[in-house]
Chain A
């Protein structure tokens, strides 16, 4: 299995066969994680550093667990509290860490493109855990694995992505991945939360959610970030929920076996009705979390194989 990439910076760089290879390997890690002895030595002897310049609980925990299950030495650095406050530049932070000789660097940063910039300055493999509004590749990959397992395929599906598309790196990575795998993508949201030039992306854009959900196989909800409220992007949470929140009525327009996804953390009653999120027949939100660990194990394993091949 070849994965011709030094880093995992975005979905943009991946070919469809890279995506399939990664998901196939992730399947084996789903099985491993479900077994009693949840351990492999794939990353044994390697050092993984998680650098989060932006708050995160679930993504960081997921990467940490993924590394530990594969036997890596894992260290977490809460970058918000440390050197950037002292005025150190991103490049200097990167060089400092690089000198500690990590093998895998997992980075989240509030600015688009920052992870790629950092990757230019280090010798190890870098995984983008979210950069600004740009990309969040492991999220798109875990979503893809979840869809593939629930639907039996990852192509020719009608996938509706709803909510704050403009500010969402999850939406961007999903758009790229699901597009590469040849699905029909619909974007649903108020025009204030739609990125400009979106019509040129080969997607269908809807500001009426009911219309957009018609016959969808997958309904992917995005989190409405509270800070968007102050920006005047939407008039109020209740109007937003009324028009763009996922409730029984609206979901009934999608295919009867449509699955409901959400990258979390959820705002119940803002973008999604709590009873739908908890409906085990429709919601795959918990599966997404589980697939997240497996996909991250697979991604780190593939990059580590390349590192070892390079050293040999």
Chain B
């Protein structure tokens, strides 16, 4: 029995070899919320429907790309505490419109998600309000204060998929190493923010000519490398499973490469903003470009794109961080950090495809397959048996980004008024359509 047939789709398989790296046309069959088969393009879809069961609905993809839905690690939703910036409802709609089928949410809420009760609250809210899958991360230390570890065991029982204090570095290495030792015993994944916290204190941009010209407090890109070096030493010491939320500088990459070569259980991510923008985009103190970590030099950006291509950087995320107008309409130093990204993640990532830096398979390896694998999820693949979490998109449609069309409650996108190429046409979660472009 087949419920759904995606016909004439350009199928983007993250595991595809170089020949099919930008897709091969075919049909994808879905039954009971799962992918049940992939057929070559020469068989007409109507015949397949007849053979496999008459009830099947046919989605004619007309040559558009069909890829495994995006698994976005590090989405901030303002519940609890800042629902005016983003609720589960608005985030869910934004995710669906952006082709994100699994949101992995951050615990840097107010209060922090650092106990099973709060985690259960957000899980309940997420289930009630969002059409896409939501997995919650929990804080690594109580109140994200960096002093005492959270109830990692209870939190895992309640469904926490990873532990992180987000952009707040656990500066006390004793606390950090104990938390990682404990996490290891439970097989918990810890997500770190590689940054030397004292060196980077107060900094809002990356040091260099541009920072000096603008007179903004700046941090050397080496602070990221120092933070990563410490974390790698602690992983080596404890054997914990570790993911670096964002590696954005060229100087940190050799350390990451060595750690992987040494067999440590380490992966790394980067936000799409750091792959597509650089420090000069801040221009005249544009606060929508104030991010954590700050945007880097063009050389760093190029190195990071290359690292995604080689697989050294495993995961691309949106680092969706909703901020309202009030927290952004301030002098640069005082303004809040972060950008919304759920809806712009795919069009922005496609810039790297259009610039011929990455193939579509490479992009979806980093957007879908690798994050799913890292979290032990069955999705992220175009293979029989995998959940039918799918995104249908046309990589070529040009448009000018208008932030007022975003579904997020907060509209702080750095791509506002920029030319983009590539739009999501539809999103399915477990075979259910959750969004279609009108």
Q: Which residues on A are within 8 Å of B, measured CB to CB?
A: 12, 89-91, 109, 111-114, 116-117, 131-135, 166, 169, 172, 195-198, 200-201
One of A89, A134, A197, A200 near B215 (C-beta < 8 A): A134
Whether B326 contacts A89 by the Cβ 8 Å rule is: yes
Q: Which residue of B is nearest A121, CB measured?
A: B329
Q: Which of B109-117, B203-211, B253-261, B424-432 contacts A (4 or more CB under 8 A)?
A: B203-211
A196 touches B215 (CB 8 A): no
Closest B residue by C-beta to A201: B209
Check A111 against B212 for contact (C-beta < 8 Å). no
**A113 contacts B210, CB within 8 Å?**
no
Given contacts A113-B214, A116-B285, A134-B214, contact A89 B208 (CB under 8 A): no
In the bound complex, CA of A238 to CA of B143 (Å)? 45
Q: Known contacts A196-B211, A197-B209; is A116 also within 8 Å of B333 by CB?
A: no
Considering only residues 164-207 of chain B, those with a C-beta below 8 Å from chain A are: 207
CB distance from A176 to the nearest CB of B (A): 9
Contacts of B331 in A (CB 8 A): 90, 109, 111-114, 117, 132
The total of Cβ contacts below 8 Å across the A-B interface reads 70
Hey, which bits of chain B sit against chain A, CB under 8 A? 207-216, 218, 220, 284-285, 326, 329-334
Contact partner of B329 (CB less than 8 A), chosen from A89, A113, A132, A134, is: A89
A112 B209 Cβ-Cβ under 8 A = no
Complex-state Cα separation, A111 to B215, whole angstroms:
9
Residue of B nearest to A169 (CB): B215
With a cutoff of 8 Å between Cβ atoms, the chain A residues found around residue B213 in the complex are 12, 172
Kindly state the separation between the CA atoms of A111 and B207 in the bound complex, as whole angstroms.
Answer: 17
> Is A112 within 8 A of B207, CB to CB?
no
Query: Can you spell out 9 A-B residue pairs with CB atoms less than 8 angstroms apart?
Result: A89-B330, A117-B330, A131-B215, A132-B216, A134-B214, A134-B215, A169-B215, A195-B211, A197-B208
| Contact (Cβ within 8 A) A132 B211 | no
Residue in contact with B212 in the complex, picked from A12, A109, A116, A196, CB distance below 8 Å? A196
B102 smallest CB distance to A (angstroms): 37
- On whether the beta carbons of A172 and B215 are closer than 8 Å, the reply is yes
Bound together, the chains give a CA A169 to CA B331 distance in angstroms of: 16
Q: How far, in Å, is A60 (CB) from chain B's closest CB? A: 20
Nearest-neighbour CB distance to chain A for B296, whole angstroms, equals 13
Shortest distance from the beta carbon of A116 to any chain B beta carbon, whole Å: 6
CB pair B214 A200 closer than 8 Å:
no
When C-beta atoms are compared, the residue in chain A nearest to B332 turns out to be A113
Within 8 Å CB of A134, what residues of B? 214-216
Name the B residues within 8 Å of A195 (CB-CB). 211-212
Among the listed B212, B284, B285, B330, which residue makes an inter-chain contact with A197, where contact means beta carbons less than 8 Å apart?
Answer: B212
CB <8 Å contact, A112 and B215? yes
Given A89-B326, A117-B285, A197-B210, are A111 and B333 also a contact pair (CB < 8 Å)? yes
CB-CB under 8 A from A132, the residues of chain B are: 215-216, 331, 333
Q: In the complex, are the beta carbons of B209 and A111 less than 8 A apart?
A: no
The smallest beta-carbon distance between B24 and chain A, in angstroms, is 47
Tell me the bound Cα distance from A12 to B220 in angstroms: 25
Q: Across chains A and B, which 5 residue pairs bring their CB atoms closest together, nearest first?
A: A113-B285, A133-B215, A197-B209, A134-B215, A195-B212
Chain B, Cβ-Cβ closest to A113: B285
Least CB separation from A89: chain B residue: B330
A112→B212 contact, CB < 8 A? no
Chain A residues in 8 Å Cβ range of B211: 195-197
CB <8 Å contact, A196 and B333: no
**Given A116-B284, A132-B215, A91 contacting B329 (CB threshold 8 A):** yes
CB closest residue in chain B, given A53:
B331
- Residues in A with CB closer than 8 Å to B208 are 196-197
Q: Once the chains are docked, how many angstroms separate the CA of A114 from the CA of B334?
A: 10
| Cβ-defined contact, B284 with A113, below 8 A | yes
Contact B210 A111 (CB under 8 A): no
Query: Which residues in A have their C-beta under 8 angstroms from that of B216?
Result: 112-113, 132-134
- Distance in Å from the Cβ of B116 to the closest Cβ of chain A? 36
Of A91, A112, A116, A117, most buried by chain B (CB within 10 Å of CB) is A112
A135 to B, closest residue via Cβ: B215
Contacts of A169 in B (CB 8 A): 215
Residues of A within 8 A of B332 (CB): 111-113
Contact in complex: B207, A197 (CB < 8 Å): yes
Give the distance to chain A from B286, nearest Cβ to Cβ, in Å. 9
Task: Report A-chain residues with C-beta under 8 Å of the C-beta of B285.
Answer: 112-113, 116-117
Residues on A with beta carbons closer than 8 Å to the beta carbon of B215: 112, 131-135, 169, 172
The smallest beta-carbon distance between B191 and chain A, in angstroms, is: 30
Closest-CB distance, B29 to chain A (whole angstroms): 55
Which residues on A sit within 8 Å (CB–CB) of B207?
196-197
Contacts of A89 in B (CB 8 A): 326, 329-330
The CA-CA distance from A12 to B285 in the complex, in Å, is: 14
Given A117-B285, A197-B207, A201-B209, A112 contacting B214 (CB threshold 8 A): yes
Chain A residue nearest to B282 in the complex (CB): A113
Q: Is B284 within 8 A of A90, CB to CB?
A: no
